[in-house]
Structure 1
Amino acid sequence: MKKERSIKIDGVQLSLPQVEAAARASLKVTLEAGVKAKLDKSSRQLAGTVREAIAAGRDLGKRIKQLERKGSQSGQNASRSQAEIKRLQLELKKRMIYGVTTGFGALKKNYCESEKDARELQKNLVLSHVCGVGEYLDDETVRAIMLLKAHHLASGRSGVRFELVQRLVDILNAGIVPLVPEQGSVGASGDLAPLAHLALAVIGEEVKTDTGRMKTVRYKGDEYASLAEVKNRFRNERMLQEIEDSFDLDFKEGLALLNGTEVMTAMAVLAYQEAVNLVNWADAIGAVTLESILGSSRAFDKIVFTVYKHNGAKVSAEHVRKMVKGSTLVNQNEKVHDPYSVRCIPQVHGAVRDNLEFIGKIIAEHLNSITDDPIFFNAEEVRKYSPFDLQKERLHFEEGHFHGEPIAFVMDLLGIVTAELGSISERRIQMLLDPNHNQGLPACLVQNHKGLNTGYMLAQYVAASLVSENKVLAHPASVDSIPTSANTEDHVSMGTIAARKAKKIVQHTETILAIELLCATEALSFRLGEQEGEGAGVRGRPGKLTSRLYQRVRGQKGIPLLRGQDRVMYPLIEQAKEILRDNWLNPLTSQ
């Protein structure tokens, strides 16, 4: 597949691979030609609506206060006053725009009395919400967040100006990374706290603290207090110098930057893409293990899956068949069948595949959904989809798209299925090391005539510890909810917590599979005669694709074999993880 050199944003459609490429490869991002006209139109519409709302608020508010002052009246006149107050309040509600001419959350009954107030409200919102905690998100995740935020704002549904979206893109392309703490979001109303940190960096605000100035951005690995400080440090970098030091927010722009589920969605995309890569590797590594233990091919035969209706299992079985094709090692085991961790590779890996397909569908739908609130439509759209309250002149809609439940559910699911991929891999690692089950290979896969070596013993301990930790992390976050904002936001998704956990589980599973890759190829070296081992016995030729994988891992410039000598395992595991990340195997296992 042809690699993209840049990504164009139109605010309508973005793919998961595009998000990953922008995050990991730092591809240049540009805005489609039609975006400016679309944003100019929607921001003008919003500005007009805001001015009308503020004027109506002053007029209606004044009349309500006058009637309230007459509240001491009794009898029929008092009842009429209360009825009129109620009518005026409902009329005021129609005119107001949540978070634009009103306060937020439990403060939504407070109204802005001037355009100046409405603009000040947006900056105050950003400043007050900068309260995330914990470690900063990595650069790749933040780049993905910025891309998604620009993509969503470019839709025109948020009413922001073109200049704000262009600034986001310029900062992204310049390599400036806002410092965004990973903790503090409950996943509704979107990712407020972490996105506030993003917004703080975007507007260029400097924050003084008792120890100096708060760091808000990272550039070339170092942290700075603001964009202005970065520009002052790197005066000769043209792309940086073209970005203004600061940016004044207009109507709704603070809310639009903070509202939405871009943080959890960015983490979801990257974790999902990594998991898709890992399930392909799991099939291939499992095939190497199958050959190393001289296992049976019958569990993977095509005829077996004519009566098994799960497509993922069929794909994984075919991958294994392709890997071992031409092997003289398979079926040299006198046992009728192999342990479940090998025999059930198609069923377990395949179930992971099927669930990943569903997860990918939901993430793709969500990253192309507008998760801001309120959102804006044009008059023609409102006439076409007549609102239930019949207020066709009211073009903004308050809704709940910011609720992160779709991402929360699939991130919990991603964590569960990826944890199982690691769990079954660890069982194959143990089998390869155990002379009672590895078909004549030396214990811990090391020649040990004098009992001085432990080989891969501790690598299995590490895998076991990660599997156990994954079990804890796999507890779903989405079943929890804690009300916020004086019970106005009374049910939240915890989607960002689910995404953070899923990311950690994927990382753990990558390490587990890397350890299995080391063990399986070390075991295969004895079958190839590259190492001598007591009782190693059966030798032979692996499948063509297994042989290619072995050479990639253990070839001349690859990871060294133990050859009867204990080594420090840490760098070997890191090397194996790098091999898993380079996507080299994808064509090998594709249909």
Structure 2
Amino acid sequence: MSKSPEEIDVVSINEEELSVKKIVAVARYLKRVQVFKGAKRKKVEDVRKYVEENWLGQDSPPLYGFNTGIGSLKNVSISHEKIARFQENYIKSHSVGVGEPLDAEIVRGAILIQANSLSKGHSGIRPVIVDKLIEMLNKRVHPVVPAQGSLGASGDLAPLTHIASVLVGVDEAEIWLTDKKVKLQEIKDSSGVIKFRLDNEDVTFQTIPLQGKEAIALTNATAIMLSIAVHLMHDVDILLKNADVAAALSLEAMMCEKDAFADELHRLRHQEGQINTARNIRSLTQNSRRMAVEARHEFFKTTTETELRKNLDAEDKKNDIETISKYKFEYEFEKNRVQDAYSLRCIPQVHGACKDAFNYVKTIVEHEISAVTDNPLIFPKNDGDGYHVKSGGNFHGEPLAMAMDFLAIAMTEIGSISDRRVFRLLSPRMSFGLTRNLAGGEAGLNSGLMMVQYTGAQLVSENKILAHPASVDSIPTSDNQEDHVSMGQTAARKARRIAKNSRYLIAIEYICALQGIHLSARHSSVDLNKFPLGNGTSAAFNFLNSIKDAKSERPSFQLMDEDEYLKTKIEKMRAVSARGDILRAVEKEVGLVV
């Protein structure tokens, strides 16, 4: 089994290709990046030498980005002696981002992606540019990068320029010192050295001026939207697996039918995600005695008789309670439990489709990790004598934009169907006998979990709005030279917001499913000894019940007999599930959740 991002010690761009795990290791877990060296460095050196000797001189032919203006100014020549000044002007004029800053992990991911892309030797930069990007990562020099301002073509120009502005030492550029934004002019000396303290250590970083072609190479790429996408690949993989586990716990709480997850049924559909999800549910609920007619009969019989005894007066209690109970049982269960509702019965079809969408998106993201998205690009001549330039549009973010929109739709569906299961859990009629709002104490005096579904409803509705595709919207720029753009970074940011909302929705389902199991199991006739959970659901249930509050040592997710402060529980469940803690507990028992 490959190492998790937390387990990776160091990442190299010298030989092996990057991966989602390696990028997350550096970006989120601050793992070190090896020094740039070897054959790739030699290639970058050779290409740069050719660039300087042939394309940055006094008599060089006009080449876009080397010695011309950019965008609609592509036909304006820049003289040899002004090329260095053009780099400086470019960085200042392109630092136009606005809004809230991107998370540091997204910026770190983009820096690593850019270092990797530039190391392939198609951009014409000096090797020191790659060195400085790696140094920024290893010394935790984290630029403040505003989230808004990228059209996704030409790449993520504005946000990447904010990274470059720190590399070159623009006075107004900002970096993070812990949680505080600091302008470089406050911590930079006259020689361009940035000095600050971090974790009780002195840090120095020498900024450098750019030379010909380097400004456009640093900024003309899809690295920001790709970094967001990479983090989504890591986080959504965990989310999709959690969705199956939470759904399985809901099935156990409502003692649902198992037939809907039979292997032969799903193989007739030939959809991989659906087949895998059904297998997950079967594995998670294997050996469950709760998802069986005997458990449902016993539970309903017990709860019906309890309710009748509570409400009937002394004279009525002389009547045959068992006969009344049997009548209610046959009406409610034999009539309504032939098959379960879609949000329960169609978990494989819906979750599976979302997984198939995720796997498609992951393929696009993995291809982009290995891509070079600069423009123009440099290639060896066929005869091996020197190099030539090709102007194209690899910076256009359409592949990622459409992929992120597709992922947004999938994540919206995962959250939506989870909310429907929560809604059922809170209704005695739809949950087949669980208490109203899953209240553990006196109803009315206690509101139970009613309000968590309100939060869920808001999140689902917000996701539906955010799921509108960004990639179908384009607006022309640069005097119509750049007349079609991808809005890829917008698509990626929306997808990230939806994924965050959906993690809360799954956390809410976990909380409700646990409470439902607790409530049914407190009846001695259907306790967990007599009617145990499945192998995987039992592992999840036991793990969550083992979690304790740090201060009180009280179990965090035990049966709620009285109303409790629920925000704390929601946040804790979100954190526990998002880290993959529940999955690790489950997989120890039943193997990999797919």
Normalising by structure 2, report the TM-score.
0.85
Counterpart Cα distance in 2 of 1:439 and 1:538: 21
1:11 offset after TM fit, Å? Answer: 7.7
SS state at 2:503 partner: helix
SS state at 2:562 partner: coil
Within the alignment, does 1:44 sit opposite 2:49 as a pair?
A: yes
Larger mean CA deviation between 557-566 and 478-487 belongs to: 557-566
1:589 offset after TM fit, Å? Answer: 3.9
User: 1:554 maps to what in 2?
Assistant: 545
1:238 offset after TM fit, Å? Answer: 6.8
User: 2:593 maps to what in 1?
Assistant: 590
Within the alignment, does 1:342 sit opposite 2:344 as a pair?
A: yes
SS state at 1:193 partner: helix
Counterpart Cα distance in 2 of 1:253 and 1:99: 9
Counterpart Cα distance in 2 of 1:288 and 1:202: 50
1:206 offset after TM fit, Å? Answer: 0.6
One-letter amino acid of the structure 2 residue matched with residue 563 of structure 1: M
Within the alignment, does 1:251 sit opposite 2:212 as a pair?
A: yes
One-letter amino acid of the structure 2 residue matched with residue 142 of structure 1: V
1:486 offset after TM fit, Å? Answer: 0.4
User: 1:187 maps to what in 2?
Assistant: 152
User: 2:129 maps to what in 1?
Assistant: 164
Change (3 A) 1:523 1:238: closer
Counterpart Cα distance in 2 of 1:518 and 1:16: 30
Within the alignment, does 1:304 sit opposite 2:265 as a pair?
A: yes
Of 533, 540, 553, the residue aligned with 1:542 is 533
One-letter amino acid of the structure 2 residue matched with residue 100 of structure 1: F
Equivalence map 1:49-198=2 (5 Å): 49-52=54-57, 54-56=58-60, 95-114=61-80, 116-198=81-163
Deviation sequence 1:498-530 (CA, Å, 0-9, x none): 00100000001000000000000111112332x
Question: Is the CA contact (8 Å cut-off) linking 2:380 and 2:387 kept in structure 1?
Answer: no
Equivalence map 1:280-291=2 (5 Å): 280-291=241-252
Change (3 A) 1:496 1:11: farther
1:365 offset after TM fit, Å? Answer: 0.6
Question: Is the CA contact (8 Å cut-off) linking 1:174 and 1:239 kept in structure 2?
Answer: no
Question: Is the CA contact (8 Å cut-off) linking 2:378 and 2:387 kept in structure 1?
Answer: no
User: 2:10 maps to what in 1?
Assistant: 6
SS state at 1:395 partner: strand
Residue segments in structure 2 that go unaligned for 5+ positions in a row? 189-193, 297-332, 549-554
User: 2:479 maps to what in 1?
Assistant: 486
Question: Is the CA contact (8 Å cut-off) linking 1:12 and 1:155 kept in structure 2?
Answer: no
Question: Is the CA contact (8 Å cut-off) linking 1:152 and 1:368 kept in structure 2?
Answer: yes
User: 1:373 maps to what in 2?
Assistant: 375
Of 236, 255, 262, the residue aligned with 1:294 is 255
User: 2:311 maps to what in 1?
Assistant: none
Counterpart Cα distance in 2 of 1:556 and 1:471: 33
Deviation sequence 1:534-563 (CA, Å, 0-9, x none): x99997210122111012212252523353
Question: Is the CA contact (8 Å cut-off) linking 1:20 and 1:144 kept in structure 2?
Answer: yes
RMSD: 2.3
User: 1:471 maps to what in 2?
Assistant: 464
Change (3 A) 1:172 1:556: closer
One-letter amino acid of the structure 2 residue matched with residue 576 of structure 1: M
Counterpart Cα distance in 2 of 1:159 and 1:191: 19
Counterpart Cα distance in 2 of 1:409 and 1:11: 30
Of 22, 26, 31, the residue aligned with 1:22 is 26
Counterpart Cα distance in 1 of 2:127 and 2:120: 11
Of 398, 401, 404, the residue aligned with 1:408 is 401
Within the alignment, does 1:576 sit opposite 2:566 as a pair?
A: no
User: 2:177 maps to what in 1?
Assistant: 219
Change (3 A) 1:32 1:305: farther
Residue segments in structure 1 that go unaligned for 5+ positions in a row? 57-94, 208-214, 385-391
Change (3 A) 1:177 1:235: closer
Question: Is the CA contact (8 Å cut-off) linking 2:56 and 2:67 kept in structure 1?
Answer: no
Of 235, 245, 256, the residue aligned with 1:274 is 235
Change (3 A) 1:167 1:237: farther
One-letter amino acid of the structure 1 residue matched with residue 147 of structure 2: E
Within the alignment, does 1:234 sit opposite 2:200 as a pair?
A: no
One-letter amino acid of the structure 2 residue matched with residue 345 of structure 1: I
Counterpart Cα distance in 2 of 1:149 and 1:301: 47
SS state at 1:106 partner: helix
Within the alignment, does 1:444 sit opposite 2:437 as a pair?
A: yes
1:579 offset after TM fit, Å? Answer: 1.1
User: 1:74 maps to what in 2?
Assistant: none
Change (3 A) 1:537 1:203: closer
Normalising by structure 1, report the TM-score.
0.86
1:13 offset after TM fit, Å? Answer: 2.0
Question: Is the CA contact (8 Å cut-off) linking 1:526 and 1:532 kept in structure 2?
Answer: no
User: 2:299 maps to what in 1?
Assistant: none
Deviation sequence 1:254-306 (CA, Å, 0-9, x none): 11111001011111111222111111111111111111101000001112123
Question: Is the CA contact (8 Å cut-off) linking 2:401 and 2:492 kept in structure 1?
Answer: yes
Question: Is the CA contact (8 Å cut-off) linking 2:419 and 2:460 kept in structure 1?
Answer: yes
1:462 offset after TM fit, Å? Answer: 0.4
1:156 offset after TM fit, Å? Answer: 1.1
SS state at 2:99 partner: strand
One-letter amino acid of the structure 1 residue matched with residue 375 of structure 2: D
Counterpart Cα distance in 1 of 2:201 and 2:380: 39
Question: Is the CA contact (8 Å cut-off) linking 1:268 and 1:411 kept in structure 2?
Answer: yes
Counterpart Cα distance in 1 of 2:446 and 2:210: 65
Counterpart Cα distance in 1 of 2:271 and 2:199: 58
Counterpart Cα distance in 1 of 2:54 and 2:87: 16
Counterpart Cα distance in 2 of 1:128 and 1:537: 66
Equivalence map 1:386-535=2 (5 Å): 395-449=388-442, 451-529=444-522
Question: Is the CA contact (8 Å cut-off) linking 2:518 and 2:559 kept in structure 1?
Answer: no
Change (3 A) 1:247 1:187: same
Of 278, 281, 284, the residue aligned with 1:320 is 281
Counterpart Cα distance in 2 of 1:49 and 1:304: 66
Change (3 A) 1:395 1:177: same
User: 1:82 maps to what in 2?
Assistant: none
One-letter amino acid of the structure 1 residue matched with residue 423 of structure 2: Q
SS state at 2:288 partner: coil
User: 1:83 maps to what in 2?
Assistant: none
Deviation sequence 1:314-336 (CA, Å, 0-9, x none): 11111111111111100234411
Change (3 A) 1:418 1:223: same
Change (3 A) 1:556 1:185: closer
Counterpart Cα distance in 2 of 1:165 and 1:42: 14
Counterpart Cα distance in 2 of 1:312 and 1:227: 53
Change (3 A) 1:589 1:198: same
Change (3 A) 1:453 1:257: same
Deviation sequence 1:352-392 (CA, Å, 0-9, x none): 1111111100111112111000111122xx448xxxxxxx9
Question: Is the CA contact (8 Å cut-off) linking 2:475 and 2:484 kept in structure 1?
Answer: yes
Counterpart Cα distance in 1 of 2:366 and 2:74: 33
